[in-house]
Every structure is written in C-alpha cells, then in structure tokens.
Amino acid sequence: MFNFFKSSVVLETPNDRLQSWLLIFIRISIMVAIVWSAMTRDWENFGTSLLAYGSTYVPTFLERRYRVYLPIEFHVVVVGFLYGSLFLGEVGGAYDRFWWWDVMLHLSSGVMLGFLGFLILYILRVQGKLKMTPGLVAFFAFCVAMAGGAIWEIVEFLIDQLFGATMQRGNLDTMKDLIVDGLGAIGVVMAGYSYLRKAHQSPLGRFVNNFMQLNPQLWPKARRPKPPTKNN
C-alpha cells in the first residue's frame, strides 16, 4: 500500500530499507500537513506543503527521465534538504526558532551540489568526452555548485512572491547563503580532487563506487566496476 510513497532505488541492505522508510515517513508527514492546511484553510502552508511534497520526487523524476540511478543516500540527502527547507523551515517555523537552521541547510546543499557537479564531470571525463585535469574538474564542479545555489535563491524569491512566504530576508541573508553554499562545495570538490589523484585515500570513493555499480552503462567496458561478491 506504500508503493506510491517509495523511491525507485533497488534496496539490497537493511540500511537501504531503513532509509527508504525514512523517505516514506517524510512524504506521509507532508501529506498530513497538506490535508490539515486545507481543512483549516491555511492556504499559505497548503501551497508550501504541496510544493514540498512534489519536490521530494525530484530524484525519482531524474532517474526515470535520464535512466540514471542514484544511491539511496543521495535520495535521502536531497529529500531531507527539501523537507528541512520548505516544510520544517517554512511550515514548521524552524528558520525562526533556530538561528543555525539556514546555515546547516545551505552547507549541506553546497556539499550535495558540489558532489553532483563533480559526478557529472567525472562521468564525461571517464567516457573520454571531456579532457580536464583534476584541478579543473574540481574548479568547474565548484562552479556548478554555486550556480545551483544561485538558482535556489531564485526559487526562494519566487516562493515568497507566489505564496507570501519569507524565505529571503534581504540581500545580506542571500549573500550569506551563497557564501555558506560555497564553503560546503569547497569541501566536497577537494574530496573529488583527492579521488581523481588517489582514489583509495578519498572519502568520496564509497559514494562514487556505489554510483558506478548502479550505472554500469555509463562507463567504458574497461572501466566498468565488477559486481560486489557475497564476501563484500
């Protein structure tokens, strides 16, 4: 009965299934808020909750649209960020209750976007479609993360205009958000640089390897990862 709420990720371990149930809980809690807001005619929270619910399917949409499968951890990070920002932050009032809430979310979004930028460039590099040094890959991955942060600020502006929310609190708040995005991105792109130089010493190795195993079709045959054995 919960298939409607589940992600499309293949679940193989207890940890995977636990994270999948976390996604289900997030979506059900937002659905409850949508129904409650409609019953109480709180149309601001209704619109924000509806947007938050739809946005939790962004990773699944990307998977089905481009036939690229994301590790369950990536689903949880993306959905968790959207849940914390649009739902807990705006509807739940976490932005007003906790001064560090906005900083935490933008730091995590910088990490997420930096990893996404690195992954895209890494795929193109392995496929031979892009010839870049590890330093240039790290630099442009950082640029992708900053571009994503700027787009999110535009989204916040549009939400404020359409639903009367207060996600943006002036130019100072916007610039602070972009700076924190950059700090998060720097950390992950440096880990990406380390992976390109010495994969076995990079903390990013596990996530990249998981992605490679889920998407063997993206890699040249000589670089395709071997399926994990039972001993692994």
pLDDT digits 0-9 by tens, 2-15 = 344 444 455 555 66
Same domain, 134 and 46: no
Q: How far, in Å, CA of 143 to CA of 182, rounded? A: 9
Range 130-137 contact pairs with CB under 8 angstroms and sequence separation of 24 or more: 134/193, 134/196, 134/197, 135/193, 137/192, 137/193, 137/196
Residue 232 has a pLDDT of 37
4 assigned to some structural domain: no
Same domain, 108 and 212: yes
Pick the last residue of a domain from 94, 113, 142: 94
Spans in the chain with pLDDT lower than 50: 1-8, 225-232
Residue 112 has a pLDDT of 87
Residue 168 has a pLDDT of 79
65 assigned to some structural domain: yes
Question: In terms of residue numbers, what domain contains 80?
Answer: 13-94
212 assigned to some structural domain: yes
- 118 neighbors 138 (Cβ within 8 angstroms): yes
Same domain, 126 and 217: yes
Pick the last residue of a domain from 34, 59, 94: 94
43 assigned to some structural domain: yes
232 assigned to some structural domain: no
Same domain, 89 and 180: no
Residue 102 has a pLDDT of 86
Same domain, 187 and 126: yes
Domain count, the chain: 2
Q: How far, in Å, CA of 81 to CA of 89, rounded? A: 10
24 assigned to some structural domain: yes
Same domain, 121 and 192: yes
Same domain, 138 and 53: no
Residue 146 has a pLDDT of 94
Same domain, 130 and 59: no
Global pTM value? 0.73
Same domain, 73 and 172: no
7 assigned to some structural domain: no
pLDDT tens by residue, 149-192: 999 889 888 888 887 777 777 788 889 999 999 999 999 999 99
2 assigned to some structural domain: no
Pick the last residue of a domain from 73, 94, 115: 94
Same domain, 61 and 160: no
Cβ-proximal residues to 27 (8 Å cutoff; 6+ apart), any chain? 5, 53, 56
Same domain, 128 and 153: yes
